[in-house]
């Protein structure tokens, strides 16, 4: 049976403004999703028996809760495909890091199986399926660095300069649900325009709270601030700083103290995943 190996690229939230709380319990926000050149890798192959098999097992994450498995079952149910899949996930991105690991895995599953199973769903249809799995999944399905509003589902592709990023991954797991439900979270930031962000930048409304709750994140921010503006990405633990060249990012990376871990990646406007799809 046919198989394919595809990337699951990471993302950064270059800013995150929370502009209000909705009646359905979600939050209105503004953010800019910056796609990166690094991420996880997913190998997909067809099965004739209709079964979905995911490997390897991830500690403390039952298979039926893994977004890769959930995406495969969702596509199977939505299309009525009689085929199944073997899915092998090579995990590099930290869980709870705010760099889109699980959402990117889900998007790669949807796009990869749509190809292997010959479901012929459009990108719009796959993005709508992805939205059922998480607010960040559609941006990976569409594969463009993008400005996002609403709960993150209203996307506008934006051409960003090709900067290099040093991303640090503190040794902690930050729960999105915990942060968004916390009483001290700022929820009334005024909305801005794309032009205003490109001129003056933005902030992450979750950063003060996450730094307060997780000393590991505060430590990473303090260290990285020596070399550039250190910002939190999303509602996760990872922090990043931007550099004009790869060499500048690597020079700072070489100075990392032993207790900090991270990686250097380039920001791109088009997803590495879409470049690999037939």
Q: Which residues, in sequence order, are CB contacts of 2 under 8 Å at separation 6+?
A: 45, 46, 116
- Whether residue 70 lies in the annotated active site: no
Q: In three state form, how does the secondary structure of 72-94 look?
A: HHHHHHHHCCCCEEEEEEECCCC
Residue 3, beta-bridge partner list: 45
Q: What sign for the dihedral angle of Cα 231, 271, 18, 95?
A: negative
- Measured CA to CA, the distance from residue 162 to residue 212 in angstroms comes to 32
130 φ, ψ (degrees, to nearest 5): -60, -35
Yes or no: say if 95 and 101 are a contact pair by the CB < 8 Å rule: yes
- Whether residue 11 lies in the annotated active site: yes
Give the active site residue among 136, 144, 205, 219: 136
Q: Could you give the residue numbers annotated as active site?
A: 11, 136
């Amino acid at each position: 049976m046919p198989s394919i190996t595809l990337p699951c690229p990471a993302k950064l939230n270059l800013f995150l403004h929370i502009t209000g709380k909705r009646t359905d319990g979600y939050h209105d926000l503004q953010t800019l999703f910056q796609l990166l050149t690094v991420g996880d890798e997913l190998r997909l192959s067809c099965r004739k028996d209709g079964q979905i098999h995911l490997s390897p097992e991830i500690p403390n994450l039952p298979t039926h809760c893994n977004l890769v498995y959930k995406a495969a079952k969702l596509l199977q149910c939505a299309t009525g495909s009689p085929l199944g899949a073997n899915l092998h996930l090579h995990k590099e991105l930290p869980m709870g890091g705010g760099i889109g690991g699980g959402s990117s895995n889900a998007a790669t599953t949807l796009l990869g199986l749509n190809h292997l199973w010959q479901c012929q769903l459009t990108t719009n249809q796959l993005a709508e399926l992805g939205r059922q799995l998480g607010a960040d999944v559609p941006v990976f399905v569409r594969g463009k660095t993008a400005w996002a509003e609403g709960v993150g589902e209203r996307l506008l592709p934006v051409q960003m300069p090709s900067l290099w990023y040093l991303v640090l991954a503190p040794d902690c797991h930050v729960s999105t649900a915990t942060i968004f439900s916390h009483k001290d979270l700022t929820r009334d930031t005024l909305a801005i325009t794309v032009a205003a962000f490109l001129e003056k930048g933005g902030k992450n409304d979750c950063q003060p709270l996450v730094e307060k709750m997780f000393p590991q994140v505060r430590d990473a921010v303090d260290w990285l601030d020596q070399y550039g503006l250190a910002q939190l990405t999303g509602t996760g633990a990872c922090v990043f700083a931007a550099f004009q060249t790869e060499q500048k990012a690597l020079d700072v990376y070489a100075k990392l103290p032993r207790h900090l871990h991270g990686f250097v990646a380039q920001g791109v406007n088009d997803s590495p995943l879409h470049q690999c799809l037939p």
